[in-house]
Amino acid sequence: MSQGILLFIEQRDGVLNRTSFEAMVAAQSIAESTGEKLSGIVVGKSIASVASEVASRKLERVYTVEDDKLAEYTPDAYVAALKQTIERLDPRFVILSHTYQVRDFAPKLAAALGKTFVTDCVGFRVEGGDVVFTRQIFQGKISTDVRVNGNPPVFASFQAGAYRADKAESAESPAEITALDVNMAGVEIRAQSEPKFQEAKQAVDLSQAPLIVAVGRGIKSQENIEMVQKLAEAMGAEIAASRPICDNEWLPMDRQIGSSGQTVSPKLYLAVGISGAIQHVVGMKNSQTIVAINKDAEAPIFDIADYGIVGDLFDIVPALTAEINKVKGSS
């Protein structure tokens, strides 16, 4: 009978991807609620330090799978190694963080095993020994509780930011680390990767900015961005943008906030004309204070805003700039 929870730990060049700790929070909670034992798994080459760091957390065991073919990430190598391992360990659940890497191989892995994969979950609950996953549809506008009727292992990935990495429980004594062998001899690696690179010269590190004013599609044209820039200047804030603004090259790519840009948690995040689609929200939802200005009262951005103004940004932004300058002038 399938037993246990297997948590996939992501690493790159021997450096642990910290979103794996977010998935660990979910996995530790599922383990406690179901009574299943939690193990971690790290695949790659020269991953001893990653395994040790994982082993310091509260889980039963950490498995390592090392092979030359796993030194560089490729979907072929990862699917082959993990398929063998999962067949051997026969877990009830395989838990992952919904990262770009996981998106690139995990659906193939689940399909190769003939199992179902519940992706991009934001939560779960346990009912009568069964795990019911919560995932959102229509870009975060609607939530669904999903029950799985398939055979184990059930794969589930958790959305970045759904859990907080710092809540991953530590252990009093380190978990045992067990190396597993895999047979990669017949595995054909079809992808040839080149070195990773960053496109925008990262002139500004938005993650260090205490105040951010971000602009979205509501701004309508490049010329109008100047109005928002004036507000940012008046406030002493950095300007940022949602993806469409950067795709249009109205602002440089290093100003982009979201799943394909920067993730920030400033003291103040002022979202101007941003609808709050999930791809943007994952990059800023942990900001201390969020203010949203949008003419659509139903915009999802208001779900996470502390303060909201439903109105025309073309009136409100200049009014805000004037008010800030007034307050500065009198102090």
Q: Which of 32, 90, 169, 247 binds another protein (CB under 8 A)?
A: 247
Residue 140 binds another protein (CB under 8 A): yes
Burial code of 316-327, b = ≥16 C-beta within 10 A, e = fewer? bbeebbeebeee
Least separation in angstroms between CB 138 and another protein: 6
Record the tokens describing residue 251, joined without a space.
């602002």
CB nearer to another protein: pick between 52 and 139: 139
Binding mask 227-246 for another protein (x = CB under 8 A): --------x-------xx--
CB nearer to another protein: pick between 152 and 174: 152
Record the tokens describing residue 204, joined without a space.
């500004």
Residue 124 binds another protein (CB under 8 A): no
Residue 330 binds another protein (CB under 8 A): no
In 3-state terms, what secondary structure has residue 160?
A: coil
Record the tokens describing residue 229, joined without a space.
């820039």
CB nearer to another protein: pick between 34 and 325: 325
Identity of residue 292: A
In angstroms, the CA 124 to CA 252 distance is 38
Residue 193 binds another protein (CB under 8 A): yes
Binding mask 289-308 for another protein (x = CB under 8 A): xxxx-----x---xxxxxxx
Backbone torsion region of residue 172, taken as left when φ is above 0, otherwise alpha when ψ lies between -120 and 50, otherwise beta: alpha
| Region near another protein per CB under 8 A, out of 24-32, 41-49, 105-113, 219-227 | 105-113
Identity of residue 144: T
Q: How many other C-beta atoms are found inside a 10 Å radius of the C-beta of residue 286?
A: 15
Q: Which of 14, 138, 167, 222 binds another protein (CB under 8 A)?
A: 138
- Pairing between strand 93-97 and 5-9? parallel
Residue 152 binds another protein (CB under 8 A): no
Judge if the upstream peptide bond of residue 153 is cis by omega within 30 degrees of 0: yes
Q: Which of 37, 61, 75, 227 binds another protein (CB under 8 A)?
A: 75
CB nearer to another protein: pick between 225 and 277: 277
